[in-house]
Amino acid sequence: MTEVDDLVQGVREGRRAAVSRAITLVESSKPGHRALARELLSGLDSARPPRAELSVRVGISGVPGVGKSTFIEALGGRLTRSGHRVGVLAVDPSSRRTGGSVLGDKTRMPDLAADEHAYIRASPSAGTLGGVARATSQAMLVLEAAAYDVVLVETVGVGQSETTVAGMVDTFLFLTLARTGDQLQGIKRGILELADVIAVNKADGDREAEARAAARELGGALRMVHGRDRAPAVVTCSGLTGAGVDDVWQRVVDHREHLGADGLAEKRAHQQLDFAWALVRDELEQRLRRSGPVRRVRSGVRELVLRGELPAVEAADRILAAYDDRDDAGPGPGVN
């Protein structure tokens, strides 16, 4: 039995150490690890459940400070107590300068992290949406092969990662707060268009009435924009007290039932196609970075651009020309 075969067996048996090793492998950008990751995923593919038993994939986003981690811990605990196995993938912000990230989600979800029926993984986004698409999509496949039937993907709540994550889940949940300014202008329009369910969090204590008013206002505005039948559900909840969390989950279930088996299958098929192109773009970027001819011209091009002696368009042309002129360039098999 090869190392990959052993890893496949460990994931199928739900061994946490094997799941962690498998996700580390699929997150790696090293060429050798990518080859092993493809072998791993091929081995896990036979463990894919039939369509009627597809796991529930939910993307969760919200502005910084909205309480995503507290909400996820409250929701995850309810799901595991009702018999679900919950996997949480937290896409953390990575520094473009240092590559570092703040991987602190386990400390923000202490109870869920200690739950034997839950698994939390914080993954750095590495500053590239292609990296998010590749690593997170493949990590979801690992969790599903390990029999986690609910996968929650938490985004950083900034940038374009929400769009990327929304393109790989069944339902996209957006958490917001009262007192965020105008309810339509205080939230990015793109997020509102992505959201399938919206929840006004921290609806507890003195803030409960305010949160309910904000939910009514936002719900009414969305019905005017999208129409009553297409507007996402808007509810209130408190991750701190747990109030309304079950209602939020029911809205997620309702959205999944609205899609139906055929609609869900079609959605995932389109997501797989988008994912294929994301993999292509990510791999091309990696090859560009590893290219010897590109490395030889890169520093010179950089200095010329910084001195204002070379326009960006021409700089890009020089880099691409260097990549096209590499020794292994040429038509691939079957290309005329």
Residue 104 is classified by DSSP as -
Which tens digit of pLDDT belongs to each residue from 211-230?
999 899 888 888 887 777 78
Mean pLDDT (whole number) for 7-20? 94
Q: CA-CA distance, 19 to 143, in Å (whole number)?
A: 7
Q: CA-CA distance, 262 to 274, in Å (whole number)?
A: 19
Tell me the residue ranges of DSSP E strands in the chain: 56-62, 86-92, 118-124, 150-154, 171-176, 197-200, 233-236
Which tens digit of pLDDT belongs to each residue from 24-70?
998 887 878 888 998 998 898 865 655 446 799 999 988 778 899 99
Q: Identify which has the larger pLDDT, 108 or 42.
A: 42
Say what the pLDDT of residue 183 is.
47
Contact 232, 254 (CB under 8 A): no
Which tens digit of pLDDT belongs to each residue from 142-189?
999 999 999 999 987 655 677 788 888 999 999 988 875 544 444 555
Distance between start and end Cα atoms, the chain: 41
Q: Count Cβ neighbours within 10 Å for each residue of 130-157 and write b for 16 or more, e otherwise.
A: bbbbbbbbbbbbbbbbbebbbbbbbbbb
Tokens of 222: 């969305």
Provide the percentage of residues in the chain whose pLDDT is more than 90.
Answer: 50
Residue 196 is classified by DSSP as S
Tell me the residue ranges of DSSP E strands in 18-106: 56-62, 86-92
Cα–Cα distances in Å, from 215 out to 145, 197, 246?
37, 12, 17
> With 90 as the cut, is the pLDDT of residue 331 above it?
no
- Helix, coil or strand: residue 218: helix
Nearest alpha-carbon partner for 25 in 14, 39, 46, 13: 39
Say what the pLDDT of residue 279 is.
79
Residue 204: pLDDT band by 50, 70, 90 thresholds? very high
Length of the chain: 336
> With 90 as the cut, is the pLDDT of residue 12 above it?
yes
Domains and CATH numbers, the chain: 1-47 (1.20.5.170), 53-259 (3.40.50.300)
Nearest alpha-carbon partner for 90 in 115, 68, 123: 123
CA angle 76, 80, 82 (to 5 degrees): 120
pTM of the model: 0.84
